[in-house]
């Protein structure tokens, strides 16, 4: 029976090589589509939020605004670091989150007309962010 042992240096080299290959695998192609789909869902919720606000449904405004905020936060985490469009979308996503936080602080017991103003601002920010997200390409620009 022959025993073969690999040298510790060779094993370290193999581990580092594997780490480099796995750590730098291109994930942007799938991420861009995921980001854009998340952006479309965010805009849909923003539209629903304002529509319900026009109908006087404070609970629906609060629900959809929470969804907009959740989706904007998820998009911020997924944005590729090297994407210029992503960098341009980030302030709009943060603005949507900020306005939705105002809606959340007001709660659903406030007059829906009062929460409609920040909801409209959140929708505007979500739409603007989506313009930049839609322009993102698979190459990360």
Domains of the chain: 30-134 (1.20.120)
Percent of the chain past pLDDT 70, that is, above it, reads 76
Q: For residue 96, what pLDDT band results from cuts at 50, 70 and 90?
A: very high
How far apart CA 48 and CA 70 sit, in angstroms, is 15
| pLDDT exceeds 70 at position 9 | no
Q: Are 112 and 56 spatial neighbours (Cβ–Cβ below 8 Å)?
A: yes
Q: Are 68 and 45 in contact (CB under 8 A)?
A: yes
Average pLDDT over residues 116-127: 95
Query: pTM for the complete prediction?
Result: 0.75
- In angstroms, the Cα distances linking 89 to 12, 23, 80, 102, 130 are 41, 26, 11, 20, 7
| Residue pair 54/48 in contact by the 8 Å Cβ criterion | no
Q: Is 89:60 a contact under the CB 8 Å cutoff?
A: no
In this structure, of 4-18, 22-36, 86-100, 117-131, the range with the lowest mean pLDDT score is 4-18
């Amino acid at each position: 029976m022959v025993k073969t042992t690999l040298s510790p240096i060779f094993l370290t080299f193999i581990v580092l090589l594997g780490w480099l290959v796995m750590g730098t695998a291109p994930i942007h192609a799938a991420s861009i589509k995921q980001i854009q789909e998340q952006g479309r869902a965010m805009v849909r919720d923003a539209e629903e939020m304002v529509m319900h606000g026009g109908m006087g449904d404070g609970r629906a405004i609060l629900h959809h605004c929470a969804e907009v905020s959740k989706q904007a936060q998820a998009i911020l985490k997924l944005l590729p670091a090297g994407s210029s469009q992503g960098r341009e979308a980030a302030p709009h996503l943060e603005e949507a989150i900020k306005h939705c936080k105002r809606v959340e602080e007001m709660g659903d017991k406030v007059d829906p007309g009062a929460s409609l103003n920040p909801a409209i601002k959140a929708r505007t920010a979500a739409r603007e962010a989506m313009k930049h997200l839609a322009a993102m390409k698979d190459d990360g620009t």
